[in-house]
Structure 1
């Protein structure tokens, strides 16, 4: 029996209360893959996801390659039908200081004003449950082959992903890959993410003295490391705030207008604080590089003695423009720092990670099917193609092992989800739409012949 779109609407509506309840159960599991956290919770999270996929009738296994566990579920395609991979990740960012959350409980989901709050509600347990809700809506009448791949250390850099792809490539082969880990343009306006910046994180350490010394007796001739580090960091930007590192790429063409007032509101920029850089807001956020100071190791102000600091360290984050190369960007930043370190201070620059940027060709029949599906799920709202300032570096890995697959990036997040921040949340109406949109997508893809 082939389900109609009207049947799917009714089926998804029927499944939404259960999807909401299972989403809340997943949110209560603090599966954090970072060092120093209880990794048994990541194992528990993987098993919970595996149980959900088995309940959808998928042949399911928990796998790993030296890192945290991933989950793979598969159902073979009917004769002549394509296979769709549905990706999400079950690990989450650390919650940080719980007192910064309105309810003080990051892993206890709470609904307020139509939004579900909690770590992982949006990023990316909503993606898992969108896949599950769509599969439940079809039941035994799934018209395509499906692979559900739920990673367990995406937030920690996907360090074992390549090994998992290599070890389980036969299980993961697909014609279309749907990565449900992004955002929509606005509440009520669906989007396909077609470009993402890459990433370079590095540590910059300077040393000027053998040890701390009295700031009065030796201050003046002797440079302290914090001043050196401050001056060095300041060279990374021009006076207008644009990156000042030679060799970083970028371009100005964007598909959407991003009004400054909208950006300021969504980013929470304080009144009177000017935006940095030049060109359109969309270009500065999506298609040009950025450089940020992510952290400092130095004496805290409330415990700092009157002494010159002998060493200081910063973590620097670089977002790499689509079309650029993350490795080349790392070399450019390192060369800049080595050239500009002041007063002969000793400098150590250490790479933490790199991730490649992405630019997707968002054309062809599968993309037509995706747009049709989103339009129907959002009651006629036209989907937009948008960029994203953040990174999904593993897309390059999928391209390497599945070069013929069409990759599309969707998600249930919205500009107010506050992913990676206190009070992360999911708009429940958008969640229902992305579940319906994914069911429609599987319905439409079934009719596409390559």
Structure 2
């Protein structure tokens, strides 16, 4: 098929794909503990039905020791053709009212800007329907062998890594297409080439044997929460760059992320400045970032006029792709132990050390993906990074070391607001990715 025919077929499929997206968004597929299992079961049954309709006659839920199952299927292509694994995930983040949604997160809502709003509309049910559309372009007969894997616990404690290791034959592939990313801006094609890693620890600061009356002892006796606050403040310099000695910083030579687009996507409050120095893209994908993602001490409701003897914080640090996570965590732990004020006692518990991921960009599949994206969107492709880490990719590379990775999707970074209130997707991005994936499969089959 020529590019114009693929575009025409994609356009004809879009009304049905958007109806399917509506159906999926309306199912609150929350895999987090404490949520009812029935929506997850409904989601699996719905996905099996939908993917059987587009050619995966053996689409099925795969048995796993715990958690919700991946949906798997295979369509055999011509003999000797490459094997491509198509990945997306069907579970979503919670959408509590306090996030400030302006429409019901479980009711797909079309607004004046043309976007579709709802939890999972972008992350990653738009990716799921993009895979449906790609198989629809070929009417269920793709030009190469295609395997489908839809993960059910990507947003929580994933069980897919152990499933892959237990069934490596199912993932013996030449190319992995991960449809869980997005362009930086609508209509401007981007391939994700690096993902930052993530290290974390819990730091506990102690200054007193027990609480003390702040009126009697306050002043000379150090409060643990104030000591912790000073320790946390030492992790960044005045500009907001990470101030931990020994943590790796590099440069970024891919696509740039305009500050205006970043501000729009981040929804900063009026007057709030950006933190860090250098280009936005470098700060996001080539520099470390650090956050205190949780703090334990006396609650406001339970507070009284006492000095706090102990306070704790969980610290998460995103690290540069390609670095050793244990070494980066070592540097963070050393900083915390050496920067406590007033001789406060510090204990550090290491909780996570996940490396980043770097895609090969010199292979034939990557070159084919660039060509496919350029044709589908009608514009040159830029390379982008991702601040999140996806440990599954390293496991897939372990079981299929020859494979190349293509990371893309319909979740445009500037507007989608994944994991936040008013998550949304632009239908044009779905159409673009459907066409790009179809063009990629066609090129791979021809090779």
Please, which moves more after superposition, 197-206 or 17-26? Answer: 197-206
Corresponding residue of 2:328: 329
Aligned position for 2:244: 245
1:372-411 maps to which residues of 2 (within 5 A)?
Answer: 372-378=371-377, 380-411=378-409
Match of 2:316 in 1: 317
- 1:204 maps to 203
Distance 1:194 1:130 in 2: 20
Structure 1 counterpart of 2:91: 91
- 1:50 counterpart residue number: 48
CA RMSD of aligned residues (A): 2.0
Once the 2 structures are TM-superposed, how far is the Cα of residue 43 of structure 1 from its aligned partner? 3.5
Cα distance between partner residues in 1 of 2:33 and 2:352: 15
1:367 is matched with 366
- Does residue 80 (structure 1) correspond to residue 80 (structure 2)? The answer is yes
- Per the alignment, residue 25 of structure 1 pairs with 23
SS at match of 1:139: coil
Aligned to 2:385, what secondary structure does the other structure show?
strand
- Structure 2 vs 1, CA of residues 425 and 140 (structure 1 numbering), >3 Å: closer, same or farther? closer
The 3-state SS of whatever aligns with 2:23 is helix
Which residue does 2:430 correspond to in 1? Answer: 431
Contact 2:354 2:389 in 1 (8 A): yes
Q: What secondary structure sits across from 1:156 in the alignment?
A: coil
1:9-158 correspondence runs (5 A)? 9-58=7-56, 59-63=58-62, 64-97=64-97, 100-103=100-103, 105-112=104-111, 113-158=113-158
- Normalization by structure 2: what TM-score? 0.93
Deviation at 1:131, TM superposition (A): 0.5
Per-residue CA shift, 1:153-172, capped at 9, x if unaligned? 111253x2221101222122
Tell me how far apart the structure 2 counterparts of residues 299 and 31 of structure 1 sit (CA, whole Å): 34
Contact residue 135 and residue 141 of structure 2 kept, 8 A: no
- 8 Å contact 1:197–1:286 — kept in the other structure? yes
Q: Across the two proteins, how many residue pairs are aligned to each other?
A: 443
Instruction: Specify the SS of the correspondent of 1:394.
Output: helix
CA drift of 1:438 comes to 1.4
Deviation at 1:398, TM superposition (A): 1.3
Higher mean C-alpha displacement, 172-181 vs 47-56: 47-56
- After superposing on structure 2, the runs of 4+ consecutive aligned residues of structure 1 that deviate more than 4 Å are none
Structure 1 unaligned residues grouped into runs of 5+: none
TM-score normalised over the length of structure 1: 0.92
Segment drifting more, 200-209 vs 284-293: 200-209
1: distance between equivalents of 2:331 and 2:186? 39
